[in-house]
């Protein structure tokens, strides 16, 4: 039987001097009795994996709105790809894979329905604004509760990695920095794969210098970027990518914004208007009818402002739940 203390000792003996050791965590906001078998970061990962918030990502849009094919990415498959890439990089650098995986699995828990468009519309409607990374932290700190009514109570390092996986702030751990890079490596490349499958772009449309420098297919590009990160970060107290590879990755990202993310073929104006109106209508409906909120949300009104609770409810919806809820509330029954 391998006990937690043995795993902690193994981390001290095997991992890089720059790795975050579970025995040295800054801890949880509420102290808990330690697990006999699992390390603190393993417990965090398990709590996220078993959460309802993670399961809902299965039905949340990545890029394509209501895709008809079975092979397009969702927010959940994106999360799994980020975790896989991040673990490979962490393993290559001798970092803590459990911490890396926990951050990766939790980084998008706060994402809205309908991808970044839903995020932009909720940001527009909610008085306090909306950022999915801030909401992800709110999910693990307050919204995702067990049968005893307690939130996840994750370690400081996992919470920091979730909050700072995007934006200008750098995560305090190298494991968090790995996830930040892995998120970008994953979404750029799998969105290219989906866009080619969907006929939005073609292989020959990709910038030639990116094909030459990174590879001519999905697998090669990810492999090149992962190897680059490992070689350039080895033995350093930060995770960095070489300047040539970083420039090529950013060139691909700019290409995707110009040709896919802002494409009128992928997201027609009338479809975006429908989503904006849907989110605005639902937000206003629950704001004016708080008694229609689910019981677990309504109970939070005494603890948080009503607008905050309504925002939480909208952000937690899946694409299809939001559509069904809109139809249930606003479409006369006789029309169905």
Full DSSP string of 63-130: SSSS--SSSS-BHHHHHHHHHHHHHHHHHHHT--HHHHHHHHHHTTTTPPTTHHHHHHHHHHHSTT--
Structure tokens at 128: 């306090």
CB 175 within 8 A of CB 157: yes
* pLDDT tens-place string over residues 191-215: 999 899 888 999 999 999 999 999 9
Angstrom distance (rounded) from CA 125 to CA 128: 9
The residues near 13 (Cβ < 8 Å, ≥ 6 apart) are none
Q: What is the pLDDT, as a whole number, of residue 267?
A: 74
What is the average per-residue pLDDT within 308-335? 91
Q: What is the pLDDT, as a whole number, of residue 177?
A: 98
Beta strands (DSSP E) in the chain are none
* pLDDT tens-place string over residues 211-233: 999 999 999 999 999 999 999 99
Structure tokens at 177: 């920095």
pLDDT band of residue 304 (cuts 50, 70, 90) is very high
* Chain position carrying tokens 């970083």: 246
Structure tokens at 164: 């700072």
191, β-bridge pairs = none
Q: What is the pLDDT, as a whole number, of residue 278?
A: 96
Q: What is the pLDDT, as a whole number, of residue 147?
A: 66
CB 197 within 8 A of CB 135: no
Q: What is the pLDDT, as a whole number, of residue 173?
A: 98
- Is the pTM of the predicted complex or chain greater than 0.85? yes
Q: What is the pLDDT, as a whole number, of residue 64?
A: 65
Going by the DSSP 8-state scheme, the letter that residue 62 receives in this structure is S
What is the average per-residue pLDDT within 49-73? 80
* pLDDT tens-place string over residues 114-161: 988 999 999 999 999 999 999 999 999 999 987 666 789 999 999 999
What is the average per-residue pLDDT within 234-243? 98
Q: What is the pLDDT, as a whole number, of residue 268?
A: 78
Q: Quote the mean pLDDT of the chain.
A: 93
More confident residue, 73 or 157: 157
CB 144 within 8 A of CB 296: no
Say whether pLDDT at 71 is over 80.
no
Q: What is the pLDDT, as a whole number, of residue 332?
A: 80
Q: What is the pLDDT, as a whole number, of residue 112?
A: 96
Q: What is the pLDDT, as a whole number, of residue 331?
A: 84
Q: What is the pLDDT, as a whole number, of residue 67?
A: 54
Q: What is the pLDDT, as a whole number, of residue 265?
A: 74
What is the average per-residue pLDDT within 275-290? 97
Q: What is the pLDDT, as a whole number, of residue 72?
A: 78
Say whether pLDDT at 74 is over 60.
yes
Q: What is the pLDDT, as a whole number, of residue 263?
A: 80
Burial 147-174 (b: 16+ CB within 10 A, else e): eeeebbbbbebbbbbbbbbbeeeebebb
pLDDT band of residue 271 (cuts 50, 70, 90) is confident
- Specify the 3-state DSSP secondary structure of 155: strand
Dihedral sign for Cα atoms in the order 19, 23, 26, 30: positive
Chain centroid to CA 226: 19
Angstrom distance (rounded) from CA 297 to CA 312: 8
Q: What is the pLDDT, as a whole number, of residue 242?
A: 98
* Host H or E run for residue 7: helix 4-14
User: Of 50-59, 89-98, 224-233, 267-276, where does mean pLDDT reach its minimum?
Assistant: 267-276
CB 174 within 8 A of CB 239: yes
The residues near 87 (Cβ < 8 Å, ≥ 6 apart) are 97, 100, 101, 104
Q: What is the pLDDT, as a whole number, of residue 330?
A: 87
The percentage of residues in the chain with a pLDDT greater than 90, rounded to a whole number, is: 84
pLDDT band of residue 241 (cuts 50, 70, 90) is very high
Integer-rounded Cα radius of gyration of the chain:
21
Q: Which domains does the chain have, with CATH numbers?
A: 4-193+266-335 (1.10.3210.10)
CB 177 within 8 A of CB 239: yes
Say whether pLDDT at 25 is over 60.
yes
């Amino acid at each position: 039987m391998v006990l937690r203390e043995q795993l902690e000792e193994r981390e001290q003996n095997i991992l890089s001097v720059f790795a975050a050791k579970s025995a040295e965590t800054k801890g949880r906001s509420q102290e808990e009795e330690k697990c006999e078998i699992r390390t603190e970061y393993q417990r965090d990962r398990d709590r996220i994996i078993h959460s309802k918030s993670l399961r809902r990502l299965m039905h949340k849009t990545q890029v394509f709105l209501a895709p008809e094919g079975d092979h397009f990415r969702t927010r959940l498959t994106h999360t799994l790809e980020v975790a896989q890439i991040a673990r490979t990089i962490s393993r290559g650098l001798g970092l803590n894979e459990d911490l890396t995986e926990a951050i990766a699995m939790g980084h998008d828990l706060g994402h809205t329905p309908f991808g970044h468009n839903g995020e932009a519309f909720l940001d527009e409607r909610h008085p306090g604004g909306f950022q999915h990374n801030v909401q992800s932290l709110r999910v693990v700190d307050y919204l995702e509760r067990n049968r005893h009514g307690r939130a996840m109570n994750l370690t400081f390092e996992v919470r920091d990695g979730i909050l700072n996986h995007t934006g200008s702030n750098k995560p305090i751990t190298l494991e968090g920095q790995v996830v930040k890079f892995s998120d970008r490596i994953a979404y750029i490349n799998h969105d290219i794969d989906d866009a080619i499958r969907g006929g939005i772009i073609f292989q020959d449309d990709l910038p030639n210098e990116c094909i030459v420098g990174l590879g001519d297919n999905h697998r090669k590009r990810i492999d090149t970027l992962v190897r680059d990160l490992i070689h350039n970060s080895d033995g350093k107290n930060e995770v960095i990518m070489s300047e040539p590879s970083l420039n090529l990755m950013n060139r691909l990202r700019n290409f995707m914004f110009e040709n896919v993310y802002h494409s009128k073929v992928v997201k027609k104006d009338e479809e975006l208007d429908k989503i904006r109106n849907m989110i605005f209508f639902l937000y206003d409906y629950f704001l004016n009818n708080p008694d229609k909120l689910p019981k677990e949300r309504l109970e939070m009104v005494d603890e948080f402002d009503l607008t905050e609770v309504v925002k939480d409810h909208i952000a937690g919806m899946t694409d299809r739940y939001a559509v069904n809820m809109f139809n249930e509330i606003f479409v006369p029954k006789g029309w169905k």
